């Protein structure tokens, strides 16, 4: 289902395209923050940036990105589908904001790790809870 720009080209309105394109508005590549240890210090995934690959990590340094907050004008919607790939050679940490948890890989946590060349699909199910499918 492409990028929003592709769907706009087929006649969909910009707001609808941003919400229905599987990659959202992009960009599909972004950088994690080296040594990030919290939501605050991580690269922020935007609320319609539904497909991202992170490739700037180097071995022995964990990199961090943060899922968007849920709700309000600039937040993710319940049921949005975020796909995050770690194409770097370092572990990628994925943070959620304060008071929020993600149920994935047998725990309910505020940060989860993604090993090199693996991918996580995650969905907000409330303003304080995400669920995730971590691929092998």
| Closest approach of other proteins to the CB of residue 105, in Å | 12
**What whole-number distance in Å separates Cα of residue 3 and Cα of residue 15?**
12
List alpha helices for the chain, DSSP H. Answer: 4-9, 14-20
Q: Check residue 1 for interaction with other proteins (CB under 8 A).
A: yes
Q: Is the dihedral of CA 74, 32, 66, 43 positive or negative?
A: negative
| Closest approach of other proteins to the CB of residue 98, in Å | 27
| Binding mask of the shown chain, residues 84 to 103, with x at each position contacting other proteins by CB under 8 A | -xxx----------------
Minimum CB distance to other proteins smaller for 69 or for 86: 86
Among 83, 94, 96, 104, binds other proteins (CB under 8 A): 83
> Which candidate, 124, 119, 122, 70, places its Cα nearest to that of 132?
122
């Amino acid at each position: 289902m492409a990028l929003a720009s592709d769907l706009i080209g087929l006649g969909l309105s910009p707001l609808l395209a941003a919400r229905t394109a599987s990659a959202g508005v992009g960009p599909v590549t972004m950088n994690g923050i080296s040594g990030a240890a919290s939501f605050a210090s991580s690269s922020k995934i935007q609320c319609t940036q539904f497909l991202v690959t992170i490739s700037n990590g180097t071995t022995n340094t964990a990199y961090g990105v943060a899922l968007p907050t849920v709700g309000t004008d600039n937040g993710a919607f319940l049921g949005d589908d975020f796909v995050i790939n770690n194409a770097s050679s370092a572990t990628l940490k994925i943070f959620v904001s304060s008071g929020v948890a993600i149920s994935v890989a047998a725990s309910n946590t505020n940060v989860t790790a993604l090993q090199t060349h693996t991918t996580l699909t995650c969905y907000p199910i409330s303003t304080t809870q995400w669920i995730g499918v971590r691929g092998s």
